[in-house]
Amino acid sequence: MTVDAAAAPSGGHHDAHDGVPNYLTHETGWKSWAFTIDHKRIGLMYLWSVITAFILGGVMALLVRTELMFPGETLMEADTYNQVFTLHGAIMVFLFIIPSIPAALGNFFLPIMLGTKDVAFPKLNLGSFYIYVLGTIFTLIAIIVGNIDTGWTFYTPYSVGRNVTGADVSVVWMTLGVFVLGFSSILTGVNFIATVHKMRAPGLHWKRLSLFIWGIYATSVIQVLATPVLAITLFLLMMEKTLSIGIFDPQLGGDPVLFQHFFWFYSHPAVYIMILPGMAVVNELIATFSHRKIFGYMFVAMSSVSLALLGFLVWGHHMFTSGMSEYSTMVFSALTFLVAIPSGVKIFNWVATLYEGSISFASPMKYALAFIALFTIGGLTGLFLGILSVDIHLHDTYFVVAHFHYVMVGGTVFGFLGGIHYWWPKMLGKMYNERWANVAFWFVFVGFNVTFMSQFIMGSQGMPRRYYDYLDQFQPMHMASSGGAYILGVGFIIMGINFLRSWKSGEKAPPNPWGSAGYEWMTTTPPHPHNFAETPVMIRGPYDYDLCTELELFEGFHEDFEASKTSTKKKKKKA
């Protein structure tokens, strides 16, 4: 029953579109990429960047898991191990997962799904990309010059490293890198908010917005409001480190718990910067592959917004054992439980969307269904950690590690992978091999669960996190977890080869291979340099499958805009 992507009815007439200009080929040469203000090209550059970061962070993860296969020294010394897990965390969080969906897929599809030509501030958009590159360079300097081993949280006073054995000057480079990356995040957020407010195509009112847009919009709000706090925190940390001003270091009269408050005031909302875009992608996938509008559209849209707001009120749940007052602990625990409500609303509505749908199990949908399954586990194990008495036992153990990997990988990364599989044909105009995509999916799905399910058990048994060495009793679980990580790694390699083969010699993609009613499938493939030859008028919502005929779904709506092909030349400006 699976609709084979490559075999999806594509008709013969997409060949006729060869004359339509597309954003990939209408300009050539490195300058056309380096100085482009086309959001699609910028999105693609982000995509390659975050994938590179992901590969780097993934190699670090495999090094960590290899070291932990056996107790004692397996591969590296303790200092090296501490640096490797720090880099795994920092690279994955700051260089990969935060920019992954919003900056790469969001940049590419947000304007198209709004039926507009570009983001509100195209030059700012390019600027954001170069700020990201600059931040990455600082981070790489930190990796090369030193031995940063503070963990991605930079907890003081260890990170300040005064009168204790601690991290050296590379902390300054690393925090400077993250500080700069934050500006990229903020500017992208501002850009997207402005675009959603001001650039919607005629007929595209708020209640017709794709849920992808709603998710990215909510994310952008958090990015704009929360990231400055991280910037201030890291700035103070740099000042503390270089000028000894005494904010966080108790030897100088500072307070290390204050750093934790500041840090999580950003980094908890950042969890929603990471997960909301994943949820946003899943909305699109479920709608497309069930051929059905998401059930409770407005509730799902508002749940993203309420997650964004609630996310600001629960940072203290990272600090239940930190020594803050019992009253704070109580309030943060109570508020934390509220987060379960909008998360639950999403899950229930997604499942309800499947009801009476017409469900295809193409590879992107597999990732979406896996997302629901894994995020359910990730979310419910969050309740374990919200319950104060239980959290005291589980805090800072592998249970927490497993929990946030179920949310960040089982959630965001699966959403990201689903999104790439879904939009790859639109972005690059090539199909990939569906059979190998499925093989890769199963490797990734099984490998992921083996890796992290064993960590739940280890954690509840009391294995603390960030341990280089461990008691012999944990060895079987560590072995299982490492084995799972290798399966996961094999899955990613298969996936990578499949995409590379597609890019090089994949079959030409039809404009709408999945039969989606989404707006982004209305344009040609790869998209026109200006997204649409003429500004489209939205006469139906992006999920109104009942208003589309079967022919429209698979043959594509581009027909409507093809007539304008001849008029593109006179409209063409410097892109």
Of residues 55-84, which lie at the interface with other proteins (CB under 8 A)?
A: 72-73, 77-79, 81-82
List 123, 393, 435, 571, residue binding other proteins (CB under 8 A): 393
Q: Which of 481, 435, 373, 573 is nearest to 62 (CA)?
A: 481
Return the SS3 of 249. Answer: coil
Q: How far is CA 372 from CA 103, 151, 311, 495, in A?
A: 23, 30, 20, 21
- Residue 461 tokens read as 């048994």
CB of 259 to other proteins, least distance (A): 10
Q: Residue 144, interface with other proteins (CB under 8 A)?
A: no
Interface with other proteins in residues 444-463 (CB under 8 A): 457, 460-462
Phi, psi at 431, each rounded to 5°: -90, 155
Per-residue CA distances from 360 to 178, 208, 219, 335, 365 (Å): 41, 24, 29, 38, 7
Total residues found in the chain within this entry: 575
Greatest Cα-to-Cα distance within the chain, rounded to the nearest angstrom:
74
Distance separating alpha carbons of residues 348 and 370, to the nearest angstrom: 15
Q: Name the minimum Å distance from CB 51 to other proteins.
A: 29
Considering the rule CB under 8 A, would residue 478 count as an interface residue with other proteins? no
Q: Candidates 4-12, 162-170, 200-208, 425-433: pick the segment binding other proteins (CB under 8 A).
A: 162-170
4 in contact with other proteins (CB under 8 A): no
Q: How far is the CB of 292 from other proteins (least distance, A)?
A: 4
> Is residue 528 helix, strand or coil?
strand
Task: Give the chain's end-to-end CA distance (angstroms, integer).
Answer: 43
State the minimum distance, in angstroms, from the CB of residue 94 to other proteins: 18
Q: Which x/- pattern, by CB under 8 A, does the window 79-118 give for other proteins? A: x-xx------------------------------------
168 near other proteins, rule: CB under 8 A: yes
148 binds other proteins (CB under 8 A): no
Nearer to other proteins, 129 or 545 (CB): 545
Taking the complex as a whole, the smallest distance from the CB of residue 516 to other proteins amounts, in Å, to: 12
The beta-carbon contacts of 225-228 under 8 Å, at least 24 apart in sequence, are: 225/269, 225/312, 226/265, 226/266, 226/269, 226/270, 226/273, 226/312, 227/182, 227/183, 227/185, 227/186, 227/189, 227/266, 228/182, 228/186
Closer by beta carbon to other proteins, 306 or else 564: 306
**Taking contact as CB under 8 A, which single stretch among the options 12-20, 135-143, 169-177, 345-353 is the one that binds other proteins?**
345-353
Using the rule CB under 8 A, which residue among 70, 121, 384, 486 binds other proteins? 384
Among 139, 233, 283, 290, binds other proteins (CB under 8 A): 290
Question: Applying CB under 8 A, does 247 fall inside the site for other proteins?
Answer: no
Q: How many CB atoms lie within 10 A of CB 384?
A: 17
Place of tokens 């260890």: 158
- The smaller minimum CB distance to other proteins, of residues 544 and 563, is found at 544
Interface map 532-561 toward other proteins (x if CB under 8 A)? -----------x-xx---------------
Identity of the amino acid at 71: P
Report whether the peptide linkage leading into residue 111 is cis, meaning its omega lies within 30 degrees of zero: no
DSSP 255-298: -HHHHHHHHHHHHHHHHHHHHHHHHHHHHHHHHHHHTSPPTTHH
Q: At its nearest, how many Å lie between other proteins and the CB of residue 249?
A: 8
Judged by CB, which is closer to other proteins: 51, or 388?
Answer: 388
Q: 158 or 312: whose CB is closer to other proteins?
A: 158
Residue type, 551: L
Whichever of 255 and 562 has its CB closer to other proteins, that residue is: 255
The interface region with other proteins, picked from 102-110, 269-277, 319-327, 505-513 by CB under 8 A, is: 319-327
